């Protein structure tokens, strides 16, 4: 059975110009840079991509830029809206734009019981024939898709082919791994649970700090998948202080700041987010500078070749 979501998929940040508009030139360059490092596709318009601050036309423009830039590699946008109608419209427009998959989120703001949430995702998953990743992030969206509910959805939708598990509970990975139908892939959705998630059976990673360190992210994932745990543990130990930036309230500001510190991006965000305070910047910069001072040498040959 075809595997759609195996490997590292950046949850790409959305770059902004000084006037607040989307910087499409850098967006194109940034996506190619991460793909050249070994990533398997790009996931725009998610939480890290500040999708909830972009209007519909801006979202479609982002997708058009990425589809053109990636020249056939998967673009898998986050699909979310205040309404089910809005999410369905975005899903259909994403397919028309040439996207090769969708990541379906619960609706913004409103969260309720399983009956209502199921009706929402049923409608969005059914809106296209594209392979879908269901995004479970109970911390951010106050909607928790339990393993038995995800199994039910997978049984009812042939195009539900992945689950981005962001509960930060690695027991969810092992629970899902043993119950999901064949062909439904598990993806780690929080940066600082990558190794544990892969050990539990995940085959993909929708990553955040990959926006600043794509080569290190790909190598960490591949070492973990290959079972080379001593090497993976060393790289993970180096990476963890930055990976933990992905799991706090200001993760968008922090990851964009890290991009700026390594010379590949800008810390500009769109309101209501504001850039980091002076003290937050000082702490974050110290973490990044320590990491850069001790940056490990990466393998010069493919992980699987050794």
pLDDT-derived band at 300 (thresholds 50, 70, 90) equals low
Residue 168 in any domain: the answer is yes
pLDDT in the model for residue 3: 80
Residue 138 in any domain: the answer is yes
pLDDT above 70 for 29: yes
pLDDT in the model for residue 171: 84
Residue 94 in any domain: the answer is yes
CB 211 within 8 A of CB 13: yes
Residue 72 in any domain: the answer is yes
Distance separating alpha carbons of residues 86 and 243, to the nearest angstrom: 32
Q: Read off the tokens for 151.
A: 């199994």
Residue 1 in any domain: the answer is no
pLDDT-derived band at 67 (thresholds 50, 70, 90) equals very high
Please list the active-site residues: 135, 164
Domain span at residue 84 reads: 7-305
C-alpha torsion sign, points 259, 261, 238, 245? negative
Domain count for the chain: 1
Residue 33 in any domain: the answer is yes
Residue 188 in any domain: the answer is yes
Average pLDDT over residues 198-206: 95
Residue 198 in any domain: the answer is yes
Task: Residue 194: give its domain's CATH number.
Answer: 3.20.20.70
């Amino acid at each position: 059975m075809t595997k759609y979501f195996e490997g590292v998929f950046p949850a790409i940040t959305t770059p902004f110009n000084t006037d607040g508009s989307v910087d499409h030139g850098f967006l194109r360059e940034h996506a190619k840079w991460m793909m050249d490092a070994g990533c398997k596709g790009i996931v725009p318009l998610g939480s890290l991509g500040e999708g909830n601050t972009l209007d519909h036309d801006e979202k479609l423009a982002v997708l058009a830029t990425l589809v053109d830039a990636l020249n056939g590699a998967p673009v898998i946008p986050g699909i979310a809206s205040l309404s089910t109608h809005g999410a369905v419209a975005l899903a259909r427009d994403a397919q028309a734009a040439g996207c090769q998959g969708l990541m379906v989120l619960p609706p913004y703001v409103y969260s309720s019981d399983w009956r209502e949430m199921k009706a929402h995702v049923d409608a969005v998953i059914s809106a296209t024939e594209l392979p879908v990743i269901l995004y479970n992030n109970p911390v951010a969206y106050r909607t928790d898709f339990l393993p038995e509910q995800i199994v039910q959805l997978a049984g009812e939708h042939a195009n539900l082919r992945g689950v981005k598990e962001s509960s930060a509970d690695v027991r969810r990975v092992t629970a899902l791994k043993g119950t999901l139908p064949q062909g439904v892939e598990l993806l780690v959705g929080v940066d600082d649970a990558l190794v544990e998630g892969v050990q539990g059976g995940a085959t993909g990673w929708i990553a955040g700090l990959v926006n600043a360190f794509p080569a290190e992210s790909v190598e960490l994932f591949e070492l973990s998948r290959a079972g080379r745990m001593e090497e993976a543990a060393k790289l993970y130990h180096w990476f963890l202080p930055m990976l933990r930036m992905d799991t706090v309230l200001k993760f968008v500001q922090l990851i964009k700041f890290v991009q700026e510190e390594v010379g590949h991006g800008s810390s500009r965000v769109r309101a209501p987010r504001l850039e980091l305070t002076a003290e937050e910047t000082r702490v974050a910069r110290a973490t990044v500078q320590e990491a850069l001072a001790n940056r490990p040498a990466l393998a010069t040959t493919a992980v699987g070749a050794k």
